Chains A and B, each alone.
Chain A
Amino acid sequence: MESFWAWFRWLHDATGINLTIFYDSFDRSRFARGFVMTVELSAVCIVLSVLIGIVGAWLQGSRLRLTRHVIYWYIQFFRNTPPLVQLYFFYFGVGSLLTATGVSGSPVPMVSNVTWAIVSLSFFAGAFNVEIFRSGIEAVPGATIEAAESLGFSRLRTYLLIVLPLAFRISMPALNNNLVNLVKTTTLAYAIAVPELLYVSSQIWSDELNVPEMMNALLISYFTLVGFLVYAMHRWERAIRVPGFGV
C-alpha cells in the first residue's frame, strides 16, 4: 500500500500531476471523510425522500381537503424553486430563528448545517418522489384495488400490500432518475459548508493549488458513486420484477 501511495509522489515529481489525495495522508483522510460524508448524506436523503414520497402520495389521496392542499403546495414550493435557494432558506432563513443562547452569551444554532442539508435535500427530492409515486399509484388498475376491498382489506392495508408494491415497480425508472439527481444535488451542501466531497476538495485545491487534478478526482468520484447507485437500483429493479407484469 505504501508503495502505491508513493507512486503518486513519484508521479508528481516526474510529471507535475499533483494528486495529494493519494500520497499526502492529511489530504487523503480529508478527501476520504468528504467522500464518506457525501455517501452518508446521499443515503440518508434517499431513504427520507422515498419515505416522504410514500407518505405524501398516500396523503394526496386523503379524504381531507386540507391535507391534499398542504401536499399540493408542498410540491409546488419545492418543485418551482431552485434547490440552492431552498438550502439557504432553511439554513439562513429558518435556521437563524432556531437559535439557543450559547455559553458565551451569543446565539448558537440549534440545528447543524448537516441536518439542514438533510432536511432541505430530502424535502426537495421528496416532492418529486410524491409526484413519481402518485403517477405510479394512478397506474394501478382500480379493479385490482376493488378486488382487495371486496376481500375485506382496509384502505391502509390495500395501500401497503397492493397499491404501493405495484406502484413502486411502475415508478422505478422515474425514481431512478430522481435519486441519481439527488446524489448529484448533494454537492449544493457545499454552499452551507457541509464537509462533503466538493467542499473538502475545494479546501484541498486551495491549499495545494492543484485545481485541475481535483476537478478530475471529483468527476471520477461522482461518476463512480452515481454509477454504483444506478447499478444497485438496476439490480433491485430486476430482483422485484414480477414475471408477466407490466414493464
Chain B
Amino acid sequence: MTATPAVDAEPIVVIDDVHKSFGNVEVLKGVSLSVPKGGVVCIIGPSGSGKSTLLRCINGLVPIDQGSIRVASFDVHQLKTDQEKIALRKEVSIVFQQYNLFPHKTALENVMMAPVHVLKEDREEVRERAVALLRKVGLSAKADVYPGELSGGQQQRVAIARSLAMRPEVMLFDEVTAALDPETVKDVLNTIRELALEGMTCMIVTHEMRFARELADVVYFTDGGVIVESGPPAELFDRPVKERTRAFLSQIL
C-alpha cells in the first residue's frame, strides 16, 4: 500500500541541524531530516517535543536560530522580505490542528481567498478550482456554508482544500485529527491518504499510528527537541531500537 518510496528521488525538503529557542527554552535541539519529492513522512512524539514548531519553521512562520531549511528552491532560513515568504508559501502549505478557517467566509470563499488575493489569479478560474477541491474533499454540498455551521471534520477538510488551492508542492499536517470527534477522523484521514497516493509530498504529525504505519515511507520519533529514532514504519513500530521509543509506543498503542 505504501506509495513507492522514491528513494532516489531528489529531496524537496532538507532540514539540517535546526535549532530553535523560545526565550531560554530550547525547543528544537538540532533536527535534521529530508523528504524526497512525493514522499510521505510521519512525525510522532510526546506533546511538547517540538513537532508543531518544526512544521512552523518549515513554513517560515517561525524563524530558526541555527541550521538550515531548504524547501524546493527556497532557503527558508534566509527569507527576509514578505515577497520571499509569500513565494515559499505557494510551495509549502500547512494545515493546523484547530483548522483555523476564516469564520466570516463561506467554505468556498475560504478556499478561494488565498489564490485570489495572494496569487492574484482570475476569480472565475479560482472558483472553478475551489469547487473541484471541495468536491475532492467530499464537501460539494457545503460550499456556501459558514465554518461555524460545519462539524470539526468538515472544517478540517475545508482547511485542507484551502491549502491545496495554493497548489503547493509540500503539505504539512499538524495533528489535524487530534481535535476531531472519532467518527469524523476517518473522512479527514481518507482525504490525506488520497493526496499522498496521488504523489503529494506530505509531512504528517499524527497520533494515528495505524494511519502512519499504512502511509508513511519513514516515521520519525521526536522527543525533547531531537529526533530519537527514525525508520520505515514496520521497523520503527515493530522493532524500535531506543528505549524511549519503546516506552512511548507502549504508552500509545
Q: Are A162 and B102 in contact (CB under 8 A)?
A: yes
Is A244 on the interface with B (CB-CB < 8 A)? yes
Are A146 and B61 within 8 A (Cβ)? yes
Are A152 and B104 in contact, with the CB atoms below 8 A?
Answer: no
| Bound complex: CA A153 to CA B118 (Å) | 6
- A225 contacts the other chain (Cβ, under 8 Å)? no
Q: Mark B198-218, 1 if CB is under 8 A from A, else 0.
A: 000000000000000000000
Interface code A143-170, partner B: CB below 8 Å = 1, 0 otherwise? 1101111111111010001100110010
The size of the chain A interface, using a CB distance under 8 A, is: 24
- Is the CB of B59 closer than 8 A to any CB of chain A? yes
Q: A169 and B104 in contact (CB under 8 A), knowing A151-B114, A154-B86, A243-B146? A: yes
- The reply to whether B146 and A152 form a contact with Cβ atoms under 8 Å apart is no
Assembled-state Cα–Cα distance A153/B117 (Å): 8
List residues of chain A with CB within 8 A of the CB of B82.
Answer: 154-155
B104 contacts A242, CB within 8 Å?
yes
The reply to whether B61 and A150 form a contact with Cβ atoms under 8 Å apart is yes
CB within 8 A of B86: which of A152, A161, A244, A245?
A: A152
Q: Which of B94, B101, B117: most chain A Cβ within 10 A?
A: B117
A242 to B149, CA, bound (A): 10
Q: How far is the CB of B206 from chain A (nearest CB, A)?
A: 19
State whether B61 touches A166 (Cβ < 8 A). Answer: no
Contact with A along B89-109 (1 / 0, CB 8 A): 110011010101111100000
Contact with A along B57-82 (1 / 0, CB 8 A): 00101000000000000000000001
Q: Assess whether A245 is in contact with B166, with CB atoms less than 8 Å apart.
A: no
Residue of B nearest to A156 (CB): B82
Residue A105 at the B interface, CB < 8 A? Answer: no
| Interface pair B103/A150, CB less than 8 Å apart | no
Indicate if the CB atoms of B89 and A152 lie closer than 8 Å: yes
23 A-B pairs, CB-CB below 8 angstroms?
Answer: A141-B100, A143-B100, A146-B96, A147-B100, A147-B101, A147-B159, A149-B61, A150-B94, A151-B93, A151-B114, A152-B89, A152-B118, A152-B119, A153-B118, A154-B82, A154-B86, A155-B82, A157-B118, A161-B117, A243-B148, A243-B149, A244-B147, A245-B103
Q: Mark B14-34, 1 if CB is under 8 A from A, else 0.
A: 000000000000000000000
Judge whether B162 is part of the interface by a CB distance below 8 angstroms.
yes
**A144, B100: Cβ atoms under 8 Å?**
yes
Residues in A neighbouring B118, C-beta threshold 8 A: 151-153, 157
Question: What B residues does A153 contact at CB under 8 A?
Answer: 114, 117-118
Shortest Cβ-Cβ A-B pairs, 6 listed: A244-B148, A147-B100, A152-B89, A151-B114, A152-B86, A152-B118
What residues on B are CB-neighbors of A242 within 8 Å?
Answer: 103-104, 146, 148
Flag if B61 contacts A245 (CB, 8 Å): no
A166: which of B103, B113, B119 is its contact (CB, 8 Å)?
Answer: B103
Assuming the A-B contacts A152-B85, A165-B104, A166-B103, are A147 and B96 also in contact, with contact meaning beta carbons closer than 8 angstroms in the complex? yes
Q: How far in angstroms is the closest Cβ of chain B from A7?
A: 52
CA distance A163 to B98 in the complex (A): 18
Question: What are the residues of chain B within 8 A of A244 when measuring CB–CB?
Answer: 103, 146-149
Contact B117 A157 (CB under 8 A): yes
CB-contacts of A211-247 with B (<8 A): 242-246
Residues of A within 8 A of B101 (CB): 147
A126 to B61, CA, bound (A): 33
Shortest Cβ gap from B145 to chain A (Å):
8
Contact A152 B114 (CB under 8 A): yes
Contact B104 A150 (CB under 8 A): no
Q: How far is the CA of A30 from the CA of B89 in the complex (A)?
A: 62
Given A151-B89, A152-B90: A146 in contact with B114 (beta carbons within 8 A): no
Complex interface residues of chain B between 179 and 230 (CB less than 8 A to chain A): none
Residues of A within 8 A of B114 (CB): 151-153
Nearest CB of B to A171, in Å: 13
Residues of A within 8 A of B96 (CB): 143, 146-147
CB distance from A166 to the nearest CB of B (A): 6
* Distance in Å: Cβ of A241 to nearest Cβ of chain B: 10
